Amino acid sequence: MPYSIKKDLCISCYACEDQCPTKAISHNEEGEFFIDPTVCVECEGFYEEPQCLAICPIDGCIVKLSEVEEV
């Protein structure tokens, strides 16, 4: 299950986008960041832990896509 960024919590710090090994993360001109669920592999095969989650400074900002959909 890929990850997703909660827009209301994101501070647009670019850290996740810089770290993503599959370039699944991008942003628009308004500084909103998105994870492309078809590209995110949760860093499997690259690193031990999802890089976006490991560097994000805001608790609860990056969550499993399923958690967003449930809400």
Partner 1 sequence: MSGCHSKQCGLGSDDLSFLPEDIRRKVENHPCYSQEAHHFYARMHVAVAPACNIQCNYCNRKYDCANESRPGVVSELLTPEEAAKKVLAVAMEIPQLTVVGIAGPGDPLANPERTFRTFELIKEKAPDIKLCLSTNGLVLDKYINKIKDLEIDHVTITINAVSVDTASKIYPWIFYNHRRYRDKEAAKILLEKQYEGLQACVENGILVKVNTVFVPEINGEEIPELSKKVRSMGAFLHNIMPYVEGEGTAFSKAGIRPPTPQELKEMQEKCEGNMNLMRHCRQCRADAIGLLGEDRGQEFTKDKLSKININYDPNWRKQIHEEIEKEREKLRKARELLFGETENEGPKVLVAVASKGNMLVNEHFGTAKEFLIYEVSAKGAKFIHHRKVTPYCHGSISCLEGENILEDTIAKLSDCKAIIAAKIGFEPRDVLKQRNIDCVDEFAYLSIDEALARYYKKYVLKEEVPVGTNGG
DSSP state letter for 11: -
Q: Cβ–Cβ contacts within 10 Å for residue 19, how many? A: 17
Instruction: Identify residues 25-44 at the interface with partner 1 (CB under 8 A).
Output: 31
- Which of 1, 7, 44, 47 binds partner 1 (CB under 8 A)? It is 47
Q: Is there binding between residue 66 and partner 1 (CB under 8 A)?
A: no
Segment near partner 1 (CB under 8 A), from 32-40, 54-62, 63-71?
54-62
| CB closer to partner 1, 43 vs 69 | 43
**H helices within the chain, ranges in order?**
15-19, 51-55, 65-70
